[in-house]
Amino acid sequence: MAAWMTTLPGETPLDDLSGLKIKGITTRSQLNEVEAKNILKAVIKYLARKPSRIARFTDFKWYLRLHEEMFGEVWDWAGKLRTRNLNLGVNWQQVQPALFTLLGDLPAWGEYGTPIIEQAAMLHHRAVSIHPFMNGNGRWSRMLANVWLKLNDEPPTAWPEETIGSESTVRASYLAAIRNADQGDYCDLINLHINHAHTG
């Protein structure tokens, strides 16, 4: 692995760059820039106005398509479930069953009267914990939660992606909130969603 691809704590290693579509990238910042441009198109599509359908959240193929829309201009594996184990996430053979379980649980949360902001935090956490893709799982999970918030007339979370993606106190707080959610305590993650809510 190239030195510029040094992995941060809580990050999936990029130990195989063979799927990179854009040639000439030699630094982490260059990779971040082209990924951010790709992701912005998905942000505009899904968050600039209220998305048209809630039904998509029970559509397994849409979960994959969202990841492809976010990263497909940069990586040829975008939108494709991983076929090997990583340092994070469930066993690769359990990825698809775990996603289908999440698809089934989401409407049940509403039936139980779970507040939308709590549903978003749970969706975010469950999705990133599954870690379905080779990379981009955190950003995909945060987008997934934001689309759910937008569909339910709640403000999306304006995550400070640049600081979450680098060593910072924000990243440390975020990872601590994810670890607490691993233990069933969603309070910190819910508070992060609330504190970073985009109300403009």
* 131 has pLDDT over 90: yes
The CA-atom distances, in angstroms, between 147 and each of 21, 32, 63, 188 are 27, 22, 11, 20
pTM of the shown model:
0.89
CATH fourth-level superfamily of 29-195: Fido-like domain (1.10.3290.10)
Query: CB under 8 Å, gap of 24 or more: what pairs does 102-109 form?
Result: 102/126, 102/127, 102/130, 103/57, 103/58, 103/60, 103/63, 106/57, 106/58, 106/148, 107/57, 107/58
Residue 123 · residue 186 · CB < 8 Å: no
Q: How far is CA 73 from CA 1, 31, 64, 109, 146, in A?
A: 22, 12, 15, 34, 21
Per DSSP, the three-state class of 90 is: coil
Read off the DSSP letter of residue 87: S
The rounded distance, in Å, linking the Cα atoms of 104 and 91 is: 20
Tens of pLDDT, residues 163-174: 566 666 788 899
Percentage of residues in the chain with pLDDT exceeding 70?
A: 86
Decide: 93 and 86 in contact? Cβ < 8 Å.
no
| Mean pLDDT for the stretch of residues 183-187 | 96
Alpha carbon distance 6, 146 (integer Å): 29
> In this predicted structure, what is the pLDDT of residue 160?
81
What integer best gives the mean pLDDT of the chain? 88
In this structure, of 51-60, 121-130, 160-169, the range with the lowest mean pLDDT score is 160-169
